[in-house]
Amino acid sequence: MTVWMVFVPLAVGVAAYGRHFDKPWWAKAHMLIMGFGVAIPMTAAAILGIVATKGFLPRAHLILGTIIILGAWFQIGLGIVNHIIFRIHGRAKGAKRPVQNAIHVWLGRLLGILAMINIPLGIYRGTLAMRYG
């Protein structure tokens, strides 16, 4: 939950406002926060959850969580592609952004919405597990 309520908004804010105020460090800060604060902890939590439950149980929270994690790693790939394209072609003011950038932005929004749906599902499952063992 901390990933989606602290680190994701922080990284998105860094990207949005860093670009808007023309700060040179925003892209690297965005990448570091999303990599170390989001993708790695989220993947580790998923692996630990699967190990703790002794296998992948086909429940809504786990299925949706798997989709979100795979989407997050795809986001990393798109971010790297965007970084390489911008590194090669530069970031000219007013230049049209590549289609990968639009996909990166909209997929990020979609994953955020899916995460906000998945968090209550996980809390509900956890509450049932504590109540009924």
Tokens of 68: 């979100």
Residue 57 has pLDDT above 60, yes or no: yes
Q: In sequence order, which residues have a C-beta less than 8 Å from that of residue 81 and are 6 or more positions away?
A: 100
Number of domains in the chain: 1
Domain that holds residue 79: 2-132
Q: Average pLDDT in the 99-106 region? A: 89
Of 126 and 37, the one with more pLDDT: 37
Confidence of residue 11 (pLDDT cuts 50, 70, 90): very high
Kindly compute the dihedral angle of the four CA atoms of residues 101, 103, 104, 105, in this order, to the nearest 10 degrees. Answer: 90
Three-state secondary-structure class, residue 53 = coil
Q: What percent of the chain has pLDDT over 70?
A: 88
Q: Stretch 1-10: mean pLDDT, rounded?
A: 86
Give the predicted TM-score (pTM) of the model.
0.79
pLDDT in tens, 109-133: 999 999 999 988 888 866 666 666 5
pLDDT tens-place string over residues 65-77 = 889 999 999 998 9
Report d(CA 122, CA 119) in Å as an integer: 5
Average pLDDT, the chain: 84
pLDDT at 131: 63
